[in-house]
Amino acid sequence: MDDFVKRYGPVALVTGASSGIGRAFAGQLAARGLDVVLVARRRDRLEELARTLRDTHGVSPTVLPVDLADPAAGKEILDAVARLEVGLLVSNAGFGVKGAFGEEDAAVLSSMLAVNCHAPTQLAHGLAPRLAQRGHGGVIFTSSVEGLMGCPYSAGYSATKAYVNALGEALWAELGPRGVDVLTLCPGATDTEAPRLQGIDPATLQDLMSPDDVARSALDHLGSGPTHIPSAHYRKVFDALLSMPRTEALTSMASSVRKVSQGPRADRAGDA
Ligand SMILES: NC(=O)c1ccc[n+]([C@@H]2O[C@H](COP(=O)([O-])OP(=O)(O)OC[C@H]3O[C@@H](n4cnc5c(N)ncnc54)[C@H](OP(=O)(O)O)[C@@H]3O)[C@@H](O)[C@H]2O)c1
């Protein structure tokens, strides 16, 4: 059995597996020989993916259609995997809302907090003791470069991802000594359904990565947390921003977002 399967197998739980980065994670984990539990709302997408992974890689995927905005979703998933030996949690599902704070629908904001913060916390809370007891395993949280500093016109989303970054960093320090690798993945713009769902044409985004490249980069860096920015471009942008005095960095970010809202989005320093 190869080292990756020994360390993180036999089963990986992947949320947001019906599309984009989560679907790419599920495919690459199955290719590495792990069984996968596929979580998202769209059952048809999950079932189609499960069939493909079974036929292509000979693994035995489990399909779990769950709405992570439901506060009870974490418990439902943990109950469903209670008898499986989950060695890797990929907490990836999430979505964003763009625009002036206060103009978005309050109910959508609540769902975003539940999906982006509550569900990852509940899943990590249920699985961390099991992983630590085994003495090996991993957790990947898909956050965003927008979690690295407050992004105007994306305030709620940016704040949810800052929460994920703090959770991931804390668990990296807490679980690392117990043999569990924790990585907080901070993608920049990625070519998934997410930009289109927010009314953004992906062609206008700078240094767009494919979801496959983002997932591969995360899996290759799983033991090198606490955080990982897969795009060289966004690493450079955020290294520069984070080395500035905070007010200067925030002013620079705000002016880049203002420029973007008046013209092409190409120099936007954030994700979709
Ligand atoms: N694309 C980017 O530019 C970018 C950049 C930085 C970070 N990210 C982060 O990357 C992660 C994956 O996003 P993506 O870009 O791959 O977008 P995507 O293609 O829209 O995929 C989002 C996934 O999350 C699932 N999801 C959303 N709401 C859900 C809910 N209420 N219950 C269960 N599952 C739900 C979706 O499944 P269903 O719709 O089937 O439920 C889908 O599988 C997110 O956390 C996002 O914030 C994306």
Tens of pLDDT, residue by residue over 234-252, are 999 999 999 999 999 999 9
User: What pTM does this model have?
Assistant: 0.96
Q: Are 266 and 237 in contact (CB under 8 A)?
A: no
Q: Which residue among 98, 153, 161, 163 is the active-site one?
A: 161
Q: Which top CATH class is 3-262?
A: alpha beta
Q: Is the CB of 196 under 6 A from ligand 1?
A: no
| Ligand 1 pocket, mutate which of 47, 117, 145, 190 (most atoms under 8 A from CB) | 190
Pocket of ligand 1 contains residue 190 by CB under 6 Å: yes
What spacing in Å lies between the alpha carbon of 1 and ligand 1's midpoint? 32
pLDDT in tens, 14-47: 999 999 999 999 999 999 999 999 999 999 999 9
Locus of tokens 């943990």: 78
Burial of 226 (0-12, 13-18, 19+ CB in 10 A): middle
Q: What is the pLDDT of residues 144-159, one digit of tens each?
A: 999 999 999 999 999 9
Domain boundaries, the chain: 3-262
Is the minimum distance from the CB of 142 to ligand 1 under 6 angstroms?
yes
- Element of type H or E holding 8: helix 3-8
The letter for the amino acid at 36 is: V
